[in-house]
Structure 1
Amino acid sequence: MKKVMYLNFWTVVFALVIFSCNSTKVNTDDANANNPQIDSSNGLGQEADGHTSENALDWEGVYNGTIPCADCEGIKTSITLNKENKYDRTISYIGKPDSMLRDTGSFTWDDSGSIITIGDGETSQSYKVGENILFHLDKTGNQIKGDLASKYRLMKNYSDSNLENKKWVLTELMGKPIQTPKDGKPAFVTFSSKEARMSGNNSCNLFSGSYSIKSGNRIEIGQMMNTMMACENMDQASQFMQVLQKADNYTVVEETMNLNKARMAPLAKFSLAKAD
């Protein structure tokens, strides 16, 4: 009889331990449900200690990506965010000429400090801010899931001090030396790392537009805006603009920069401008 009572006693103790563990798990799950924390893998949400995307992440910078489009090949988007909660946004509908839109203004954070909203009215768009990434949200403010989820992301821009914040003067175009026309100016281009915008002169007209640098010296150049003056050598100026749209990578060796397409011969060659 004592042996049986001994076994029953430890059976009861074991059952109480299991019950206690299960109760603790349920309470922990309930607590987590009421206190969502940042997922360390992507930096979303709000941490229990008060850290948010707004105050804990290095979110200032330039973000680029191509969002799916119902009636075009994609919506190429570039957004610059700064610490004064100002934004600069450029949108281009791929395959639709003259469709580039640009707007600037202030953006707002939601109460959780994890979501920003830019634009007003029909141009309003919300993004969840992660580590070096913006997640494009749907119209109800939810993150997009499923097979296309990866398409609704804008990635923070790489930077390259060898290329950016310098003036590059065009010396060769499609294998031919450049001759500056009498009524024109030397063609050149600059890449501004702060705004991720490139600008310059095609020997006739001024131009500007967005760009993004990716790993492996790859570059993606957005649609350019330019002035519309008539000059002596319009063919060269036009060819230069076409080259900028074709280039998908670059090389910088000392004071020479090339814009290339895949592994073909350089589309354009540039020399570093001398300081005045």
Structure 2
Amino acid sequence: MKKCLFLSLIVAGYLTACSSTKSPDSSATATNIPATATPDNSKTSVDWPGTYRAMLPCGDCEGIKTELTLKQDQTYEMAMTYLGKSKEVYREKGTFQWNSNGNKITLSGKLQQQETNQYLVGENRLWKLDAAGQKVTGALAEKYILKKGETELHPESADNSITEKYWKLIELNGKPVMVSSTQPREPHFILKTENNRVNGHSGCNSFMGSYEISAGISIKFSPLAATRMACQDVPYESEFLKMFGIADHYLFQNDTLSLTQAGTAPLARFVAVYLR
């Protein structure tokens, strides 16, 4: 009986020893499993170092001529000029940090404490974000994109892309404009390059005046002179003519033109009509 018990203990010890010798091999195999690869993001996959330029909208000036250079060592250089307000070029150097997702950067520095300082990084593009860190939306959204390799900006040269075109009014203060069959003409205006003259029709009366375009996004109209016919079928005439005295910015995209006040929602929207 004692002999059998002794043999049983020997066998149990042998099995335990075999089991323990296999553990290191099992552990080693586990440690050889490769870690999950880090997903691609703007920081790792985009050629982001370089100089980006844009003419950013400005609430109390003609536009902000902006040049931002990002360097590989996560430092930056920025130059900003507030056109129509000051000829001084505000320059700054500092560092920037990436967010945990590797798609946004935050700039440091005194100038950045006065402005929103976050940018979304894309291929050859920087989107200047709003105070909440989100993309700017609305009529001026495209104006908040800085482009890499953009040629030097020359704000003193007017943008002629909206001149010499017949702009038909389609929306006023967010409401569609309906043209009555009894109206003398449809509401529209034309910006003439000669002497910077504007002329048009309110749907009831003809009007004329002058305009000035600057910084590629800013526009100003002089007080308009208009005929004085009375028309019952043009209830929006007063608002339409008043709009020209309020508008100070514009957005031109394809064949649509929006006039706005300091980057707010469009005061009026127009579509280009090509006359034959």
Query: TM-score under structure 2 normalisation?
Result: 0.42
Larger Cα Rg: Structure 1 or Structure 2? 2
